[in-house]
Structure formats: structure tokens, C-alpha cells
Copies of this chain bind each other. A is one copy, B any other.
Amino acid sequence: MNISIFSYKQNIKVDFTERSTRIKLYAKVNSIMSKGQETKQRLLDSAQQLMYSRSYSDVGVQEICKDAKVQKGSFYHFFSSKSALTVEVLEQLKMQMIESILLPAFAKDLTPSRRFERFIEYAYQHQVQIKEQYGYVLGCPMGNIALEMSTQDEEIRKKVETLFESIFYVFVDVLDDAKKAGEIDQDADTSELAQVCLAYGEGVLLVAKTKNDPEVVKQLLPYVSKLIGFKGQNI
């Protein structure tokens, strides 16, 4: 139950709060992690796993502790509340998402439009794997929590909002590249297009989860190129 959904490297911090997508790496070796930090990490991993496969409300602190083999006293030693834990889970989720999907997909070895194609393939493969593993398409872990918790927990809502911003900057970066490469209109509003891409991606994952069918991702996500307006392309 503690295998991470994304392949996960410890303690790599990526800063997307600046528009430039410079990456800062604070390399730390796993073995340096103290016993306490390992316990905390187990709690974060269990919580992430359980909440993603079910929901925030359906997973209790007790169950997270049991899964992580940690006592309740320890839980509240590391986290002030379930909500505070969730905010940290979301941060971890963002790092994993950027590292294991966005950065590889949008690496600059291909043309911007090809990067999008690779992104679509990764997103599809990811949902296929999730369905094999859990029996359900789980969609986007951030979108899921956002819709469930936005009206109930302002800290969580804000956190998801900033996560979306981080992803947004990744899209802006590729779209700016596309503009430079002449793949899209010179007067395209890349900032607005990035928001559009994010929204469409979330929507496709929502529908895929509802239908419990990863093929929805494969079928619908390519339409993102229409949204962006890549020149000379028919999906």
C-alpha cells in the first residue's frame, strides 16, 4: 500500500513560482532522512494513496495511521490536523506530477506540438496503469480534491489554486516556445491558452473517471491542439 503512484524521487524541489521554469535541485540522499522524517513520509505516502483512490472524507486519520503503521500520537506530532496533512500531500503531489509527467513530456528535445503529443500519451498511459492497479480510473488527484474540498476548507482550496498555477507556468513555457517556433499565431495569448489547456485536461480526466474508461483520454485529449491552434494540423 505504500508504493507511490508516481515514481518518486526524494527531496527534489522544483520552483515554478517564478515564470522562468528554472529548476533548483536540493539533492539529499535518502539515508540522511531521520527516523522521524521517515515516519512522516510514510504518513504522507499512505494519505496520498488512500485519498487519491477514494476521497478526502472517506479516508480517516485512523486508517492513514494504520496503513502507515504509525500511532495516532505520532500523526499529531507531525501534523496539526488532517487538513494540514492534506496540504502537504498536495505539495508532494505537485512535485511528483511535474517531475514524472510534465518535465519529461515537455522536455525541449522535440517541437512544442510534439511535446504535447507526448504529454497526451503519458497522461493516457498513466490512467491505464492506474485502472489496472485499482480497477478504477482515478483522474487527477488535485482536481479530485479541489472539487470535493474547495467549499469546505479554504487552505486546501488555496493550495490547489497555487498548484494549478505551477502547472499553468509549465504550459505557458511550451506555448511561448510554440510561438517562437511559429507553430501558433504570433498574437496568441499564451497565458490564456495555458489556462484553457489546464481546464480542458481536467475536464477530460473528469469525464474519463466518470466513465471509468481511460480510452476517453486517448480520444479526447488530442483536441487540445485545436484549442491551442497549432498550424496545419487536423487533431
Pick from A33-41, A52-60, A109-117, A119-127 the stretch touching chain B: A52-60
* Interface pair B161/A138, CB less than 8 Å apart: no
- Contacts A148-B148, A220-B199 hold; do A164 and B55 have CB atoms under 8 A apart? no
Give the number of times this chain occurs in the complex, counting copies.
2
Interface residues contributed by chain A, number (CB under 8 Å): 46
**A1-9, A71-79, A201-209: which lies at the B interface?**
A201-209
Q: Does A100 interact with chain B (Cβ within 8 Å)? A: no
Assess the A148–B147 pair: CB atoms within 8 A: yes
Looking at the assembled complex, report how far the CB atom of A101 sits from the nearest CB atom of chain B, in whole angstroms: 17
How many angstroms between the C-alpha atoms of A56 and B148 in the bound complex?
9
Determine if A17 is an interface residue (Cβ-Cβ < 8 Å): no
Question: Which one of B138, B199, B210 lies within 8 Å of A203 (CB-CB)?
Answer: B199
Q: Does A19 lie at the interface of the complex (its beta carbon under 8 Å from any beta carbon of B)? A: no
In angstroms, Cα B207 to Cα A229, docked, is: 21
Contact of A192 among B136, B206, B219 (CB under 8 A): B219
Stretch at the interface among A81-89, A150-158, A169-177: A150-158
Query: Do A206 and B207 touch across chains, with their CB atoms under 8 A apart?
Result: no
A70: CB under 8 A from chain B? no
Q: Whose C-beta in chain B lies nearest to the C-beta of A135? A: B151
Closest to A213 in B: B161
On whether the beta carbons of A146 and B209 are closer than 8 Å, the reply is yes
Instruction: Name the contact of A151 in the complex, choosing from B138, B206, B226 (C-beta under 8 A).
Output: B138
Complex CA–CA separation, A209 to B229 (angstroms): 26
Q: Is the CB of A207 within 8 A of B164?
A: yes
* A160 to B226 alpha-carbon distance, docked (Å): 27
* With A136-B150, A203-B203, A203-B204 already in contact, 8 other A-B pairs whose C-beta atoms are closer than 8 Å: A55-B148, A57-B58, A164-B207, A195-B216, A195-B219, A198-B207, A199-B207, A200-B227
